């Protein structure tokens, strides 16, 4: 019933009842399995593999698109998944497919993560800077 699901690697493993992906190839394979189970599109989020890059994969029945990004060294990542999903929800009605809103949402989120240091709130894992464009 979902137009898109946006699991990170532990969430995808839980949905499939399998081990967490340990490589980008396994991540894509799990995305295909979730797509075959009925989701119109799956955005597999690679925040947990480690390494210098952090590619996300949009998996649809007839297409797979990589959205590469450099991993940002920060402790301010609280809410990144929810923030990305909310941005996709807001952007999707303006677009004809999932590729455009994913690209726009990821670009905005990367800046929100990068600019999070400016918030100076709390201790430990902090939030992303949702209002980085205006403040």
Could you report the per-residue pLDDT of 26-69, keeping only the tens digit for each?
999 999 999 999 888 999 998 778 778 889 999 988 899 999 98
Residue pair 54/70 in contact (Cβ under 8 Å)? The answer is yes
Q: How many Cβ atoms from other residues are within 10 Å of residue 60's Cβ?
A: 19
By CB atoms closer than 10 A (0-12, 13-18, 19+), residue 104 is middle
In this model, does residue 124 exceed pLDDT 80? no
Q: Which of 6, 54, 80, 106 is catalytic?
A: 80
Q: Which of 18, 50, 66, 82 is catalytic?
A: 82
Helices (DSSP H) in 74-134: which residue ranges? 80-91, 99-114
Cα–Cα distances in Å, from 118 out to 34, 53, 113, 126, 133? 37, 23, 10, 11, 12
77 included as an active-site residue? yes
Q: Which of 77, 95, 104, 114 is catalytic?
A: 77
In this prediction, residue 7 carries a pLDDT of 96
Is pLDDT larger for residue 130 or for residue 44? 44
Mean pLDDT across the chain = 89
Q: Which of 79, 95, 104, 114 is catalytic?
A: 79
38 included as an active-site residue? no
124-130-134-135 Cα dihedral, nearest 10 degrees: -10
80 included as an active-site residue? yes
In this model, does residue 79 exceed pLDDT 90? no
Mean pLDDT of 11-15: 96
104 included as an active-site residue? no
Q: Which of 47, 74, 81, 114 is catalytic?
A: 81
pTM for the model: 0.89
In this model, does residue 80 exceed pLDDT 90? no
Helices (DSSP H) in 44-98: which residue ranges? 80-91
Mean pLDDT of 88-95: 95
95 included as an active-site residue? no
31 included as an active-site residue? no
Q: Which of 45, 83, 106, 126 is catalytic?
A: 45
């Amino acid at each position: 019933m979902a137009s898109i699901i946006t699991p990170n690697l532990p969430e995808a493993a839980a949905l499939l009842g399998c081990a967490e992906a340990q490589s980008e190839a396994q991540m894509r394979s799990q995305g295909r399995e979730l797509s075959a189970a009925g989701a119109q599109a799956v955005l597999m989020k690679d925040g947990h593999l480690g390494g210098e890059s952090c590619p996300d994969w949009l998996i649809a029945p007839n297409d797979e698109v990589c959205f590469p990004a450099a991993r940002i060294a920060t402790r301010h990542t609280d809410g990144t998944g929810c923030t990305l999903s909310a941005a996709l929800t807001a952007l999707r009605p303006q677009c004809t497919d999932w590729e455009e809103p994913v690209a726009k949402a990821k670009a905005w989120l990367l800046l929100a993560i990068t600019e999070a240091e400016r918030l100076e709130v709390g201790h430990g894992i902090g939030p992303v800077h949702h209002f980085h464009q205006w403040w």
